[in-house]
Amino acid sequence: MYKPKTLFEKVWDSHVVLEREGEPTLLYIDLHLVHEVTSPQAFEGLRLANRTVRRPDLTFATIDHNIPTTSDERFHIKDQIAAQQIATLRRNCAGAGIPLFDVGSGRQGIVHVIGPELGLTQPGMTVVCGDSHTSTHGAFGALAFGVGTSEVEHVLATQCVSQKKPRSMRIGISGALPDGTSSKDLILEIIRRLGTDGGTGHVIEYAGEAIRGLTMEERMTMCNMSIECGARAGMVAPDETTFAYLDGRPYAPPGEAWDKAIARWQPLATDEGAHFDKDITIDASHLAPIVTWGTNPGMSAPITATVPGPDNAQDESERNAILAALDYMGLQPGTRIEDIALDRVFIGSCTNGRLEDLRSAAKVLRGYKVHNRVTVLVVPGSEAVKQAAEREGLDSIFTEAGAQWREPGCSMCLGMNPDILAPKQRCASTSNRNFEGRQGRGARTHLVSPAVAAAAAVAGHFVDVRGWEYRK
């Protein structure tokens, strides 16, 4: 008798190469994405072992983490380590026959932006990359997760990876997102409720009315930050929204192959009666914009709330964590979130650097000027996103407001390129992590949605964007 399966189980089971009791499972990998930071050691390992890349046709590379985002620096990189990593990736790709989406190709960008927009990411795939936010690609019904450098080498050599099978969790989201909120607010709220370890050892499937109502770009934001609650991956079952997004993209199946692909993808849904190790339901209909106040993505609050204090802690460990976070962030308990003043605003990253994110921010900024105390960087997630935004005139909205319109890259998401904060500078960021030093030594990061970031850029402090006066 057929046992009902979850979406995760269907994808996992169809990629098992070798399974032995008490040992990790050997999985076949359909798509391997590579960038300049985690790949040099892996390629060097291949050379030392006299091995070659087994499936260069299933491996794709781009430059994103440490590429500067100003036009003049992109081709004359001052940081010698960054320049060496990028040059090394170019040599490695040329030597192995791996396609590289280089600067100026029209396809360069953040690895988790270009994979979906090129149609490389498809339902039912297994996808890996030497980057924790590979979970982004799960929005397509793929099983996607980050791997370490030694695993990158293993995939290059064998097109397989060894993994312990995770447990499964379903988070059902009922209701519809209220006006002024977004999938970024929803995933921050989920992380706030679960904690940064609530999903540890699990693959999360997001389901329910609110998820079905999200666009693909919004679903990618959800899956992108699944890792921030400890999950191994996040997934959304493919549907007509998924198929419409993929149709006609450069690497999507063409012609008759498209119809066959749809036939393969349509059964990729959790069966009725399938078992989840955890099953959680959340009502999204009363969601408010969320702002992080601390030093991990779980330390957040509704924008209308106040900064919590140690008295809010459940135990001594949490009390110490709150005290340490408040000290690092330079905040006092009881401070209204909306009273927190800002120095910088960053709109971009693999979480919120897509076209819809830029549209959301531009809608808020249209007709306004950035506060004279605030520096704003708007960094599209890819060259294709940049070109599309410029065709729509979004770049003019940003620059007329006083924001800087940059070239594609990871930028201020992490302190690995020139776009960093000075110590104690406070930033509203649409990225995915607010760890100590993430955006620069001593930098203070608040994670928010693109709309909240844009409103904060104008006001100079956080603002409840639900009451924003939009200008034409």
For 213-241, the pLDDT digits (tens) are 999 999 999 999 999 999 999 999 999 99
- Domain 7-164 indexed as CATH 3.30.499.10: yes
CA–CA distance, 394 with 47 (Å, rounded to integer) = 46
- When pLDDT is cut at 50, 70 and 90, the band that residue 472 belongs to is confident
Q: Which helix (H) or strand (E) holds 114?
A: helix 111-117
Residue 230, SS3? coil
Report how far residue 428's alpha carbon sits from residue 342's, in angstroms, rounded to the nearest whole number.
Answer: 7
Give the closest residue to 186 by CA, choosing from 225, 159, 135, 156.
Answer: 225
CA angle centred on 140, ends 389 and 220, rounded to 5°: 45
Q: Which two tokens stand for residue 172?
A: 């059902």
Question: What whole-number distance in Å separates Cα of residue 384 and Cα of residue 358?
Answer: 13
| Per-residue pLDDT, 171 | 98
- In angstroms, how far is the first alpha carbon of the chain from the final one? 60
Residue 312, CA distances (Å) to 83, 192, 308, 446 in order: 47, 14, 6, 20
| pLDDT category of residue 2 using cuts at 50, 70 and 90 | confident
Q: What average pLDDT does the structure give for the chain? A: 97
Its pTM stands at 0.97
Domain 167-239+269-283 CATH (choose: 1.10.3720.10, 3.40.1060.10, 3.40.50.2020, 3.40.190.10): 3.40.1060.10
Q: Is the pLDDT of residue 147 over 90?
A: yes
* Domain 290-467, architecture per CATH: 2-Layer Sandwich (3.30)
Check residue 75 and give its pLDDT: 87
Give the C-alpha distances (Å, rounded to integers) separating 18 from 28, 163, 409: 9, 11, 38
Residue 72 has pLDDT above 90, yes or no: no
The C-alpha angle 450, 461, 329, rounded to 5 degrees, equals: 95
| Domain regions of the chain by residue span | 7-164, 167-239+269-283, 290-467
**169-220 residue pLDDT tens:** 999 999 999 999 999 999 999 999 999 999 999 999 999 999 999 999 999 9
d(CA 159, CA 252): 21
Pick the more confident residue, 174 or 2.
174
For residues 359-369, average pLDDT: 98
- Judge if 7-164 and 290-467 fold alike in CATH terms: yes
Read off the pLDDT of each residue in 3-9 and give the average, rounded to a whole number.
97
The answer to whether residue 1 scores a pLDDT higher than 80 is no
Sequential DSSP letters for 417-450: SS--PPTT-EEEE-SS---TTTTSTT-EEEE--H
